């Protein structure tokens, strides 16, 4: 199929998503830093909420959530935040709540805003658990390119000492583990947002950590996602009898159906509108301008995420058409 335009979307993604270029470069360590005070969502279960913003040096790349559960023998953390600096502040806050050691970190996926703080936990002796497909990210040129760009755009918080950290335990199927005296269920729910998506369910606390399958109160970042499988995976999350769901981004939820519906409806709308355009051979720019975005234009991160989301969905629908889906 002939494409009627060409844009360097990878370069655009790097310049936008990891920080707004020169505006990040002017920040200094003296800039006010975002609050990382944990919020309790269930007994002994907490999370910190990242900002609905682009990662940059002013906010230490604190744009994603992380959660933790205090067990009888230690602390289990889910996701490691977006820089060593914010991870160190996070660890200090955890230590205010409990003197027990951080024994494990479970990664919901290997995206930079969830893993650049991982070395802080690894250096403390915590064991890292992730989906085995995360190896592909670690070995990719994209991972190294992203890290190099972040060392510039998010300096000094991400710098030459910041490194990518591999898991100690890779999983490929639904797994139940006893971690720090807690029963923890880890389920692959991808490929959806990423090939290595995991959800983390702590039945004793009835708390679910959904990773980036759920973006609460802001538009998701679709990237190279399999949005069809993503919709299916969202339905899968409803099987848990959760009293609290901690998403990858945004406020925790006691009503997961509502937050799941927002993400699901947005993904389905993208697939419908961009799918029609791709099937009719309408060039992307024309299709994007024709589409009615009013239902989503007031949602945080629309300006920064929607065009990329639409374009990636347009490409996905082209590929699905070629495969006869």
| Residues 254-278 pLDDT 10s | 888 888 888 999 999 999 999 999 9
Is residue 260 one of the residues assigned to a domain?
Answer: no
Cα 148 to chain centroid distance, Å, stands at 19
Average pLDDT over residues 1-7: 38
Could you tell me the sign of the dihedral formed by the alpha carbons of 150, 142, 219, 16, in that order?
positive
**Is residue 150 a contact partner of residue 116, using CB atoms and an 8 Å limit?**
yes
8 Å CB contact between 314 and 287: yes
**Range list of H helices, the chain:** 9-17, 22-25, 84-97, 112-115, 118-123, 134-138, 141-153, 227-237, 256-279, 284-290, 302-322
Cβ 41 vs Cβ 202: under 8 Å: no
Residue 12's pLDDT band (boundaries 50, 70, 90)?
very low
120 located within any domain: yes
pLDDT confidence of residue 202: 98
Provide the mean pLDDT of the chain. 90
Percent of the chain at pLDDT > 90 equals: 79
CB 212 within 8 A of CB 221: yes
Domain annotation covers residue 303:
no
Q: Say what the pTM is.
A: 0.86
Q: Which of 11-20, 123-132, 143-152, 206-215 has the lowest average pLDDT?
A: 11-20
CB contact set of 284 (below 8 Å; sequence gap of 6+): 5, 274, 277, 310, 311, 314
For residue 276, is it within any domain? no
- Tell me the C-alpha distance between 160 and 60, whole Å: 15
Q: What is the pLDDT of residue 87?
A: 98
Residue 31, pLDDT score: 61
Cβ-contact 55, 19 below 8 angstroms: yes
Write down the pLDDT at residue 32. Answer: 82
CA distance 65 to 47: 7
Question: 29 is in which domain, residue-wise?
Answer: 9-213+233-253
- Span 216-231, mean pLDDT? 89
Q: How many other β-carbons are positioned within 10 Å of the β-carbon of residue 225?
A: 24
The whole-number pLDDT of residue 323 equals: 81
> What does the pLDDT read at residue 25?
40
pLDDT at position 256, please? 82
Residue 93 in contact with residue 74, Cβ under 8 Å? no
- What DSSP character marks residue 108? S
* Domain harbouring 67, CATH code: 3.60.15.10
Burial of 152-172, coded b for 16+ CB within 10 Å and e otherwise, reads ebbbebbeeebebbebeeebe
Give the rounded percent of residues in the chain with a pLDDT score beyond 70: 90
- How high is the pLDDT of residue 113? 96
Decide if pLDDT at 180 tops 90: yes
Contact 52, 300 (CB under 8 A): yes
Q: Which residue has the higher pLDDT, 260 or 95?
A: 95
Is 285 within the bounds of a domain? no
181: left (phi over 0), alpha (psi -120 to 50) or beta: left
84 within 8 A of 157, measured Cβ to Cβ: yes
Instruction: State the average pLDDT over residues 312-318.
Output: 95
In this predicted structure, what is the pLDDT of residue 269?
97
Residue 54 pLDDT > 80, yes or no? yes
- Asked if residue 41 has pLDDT above 50, the reply is yes
Q: What is the mean pLDDT of residues 84-98?
A: 98
Residue 3: the pLDDT is 39
Is the CB of residue 66 less than 8 Å from the CB of residue 159? no
Residue 190 lies in a domain: yes
Number of domains in the chain: 1
pLDDT, tens digit, for every residue of 287-298?
999 999 999 999
Residue 324, pLDDT score: 74
Tokens for 135?
């190896």
Is 305 part of any domain?
A: no
Structure tokens at 161: 């000492």
Q: How far apart are CA 123 and CA 113, in angstroms?
A: 19
In a domain, residue 313? The reply is no
Rounded Cα distance between 5 and 10, Å, is 15
Dist. CA 209–CA 143, nearest whole Å? 24
Reported confidence tier of residue 21, pLDDT bands at 50, 70, 90: very low
Q: Report d(CA 260, CA 242) in Å as an integer.
A: 13
Peptide linkage before 156 cis (omega within 30 of 0): yes
């Amino acid at each position: 199929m002939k494409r009627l335009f060409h844009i360097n979307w990878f370069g655009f993604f790097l310049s936008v998503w990891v920080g707004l270029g020169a505006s990040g470069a002017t920040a200094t360590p003296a800039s006010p830093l975002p609050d990382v005070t944990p919020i309790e969502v269930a007994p002994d279960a907490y999370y910190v909420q990242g900002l609905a913003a682009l990662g940059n040096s002013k906010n230490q790349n604190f744009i994603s959530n992380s959660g933790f559960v205090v067990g009888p023998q230690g602390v289990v953390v889910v996701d490691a935040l977006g820089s060593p600096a914010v991870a160190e502040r996070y660890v200090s806050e955890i230590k205010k709540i409990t003197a027990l050691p951080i024994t494990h970190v479970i990664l919901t996926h290997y995206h930079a805003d969830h893993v650049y703080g991982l070395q802080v936990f690894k250096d403390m002796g915590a064991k890292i658990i992730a989906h085995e497909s995360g190896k592909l990210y670690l070995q990719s040129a994209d991972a190294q390119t992203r890290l190099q760009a972040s060392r510039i755009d998010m300096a000094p918080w991400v710098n030459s000492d910041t490194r990518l950290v591999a898991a100690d335990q890779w999983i490929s199927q639904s797994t139940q583990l006893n971690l720090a005296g807690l029963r923890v269920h880890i389920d692959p729910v991808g490929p959806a947002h990423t090939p290595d998506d995991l959800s983390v369910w702590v039945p004793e606390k009835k708390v679910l950590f959904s990773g980036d399958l759920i973006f609460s109160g802001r538009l998701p970042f679709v990237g190279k996602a399999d949005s069809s499988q993503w919709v299916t995976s969202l339905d899968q999350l409803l099987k848990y009898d959760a009293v609290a769901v901690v998403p990858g981004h945004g406020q925790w939820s006691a009503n997961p159906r509502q937050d799941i519906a927002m993400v699901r409806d947005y993904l389905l709308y993208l697939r419908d509108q961009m799918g029609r355009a791709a099937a009719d051979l309408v060039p992307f720019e024309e299709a994007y301008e024709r589409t009615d975005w009013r239902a989503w234009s007031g949602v945080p991160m629309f300006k920064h995420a929607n065009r990329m989301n639409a374009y990636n969905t347009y490409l996905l629908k082209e590929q699905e058409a070629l495969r006869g889906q």
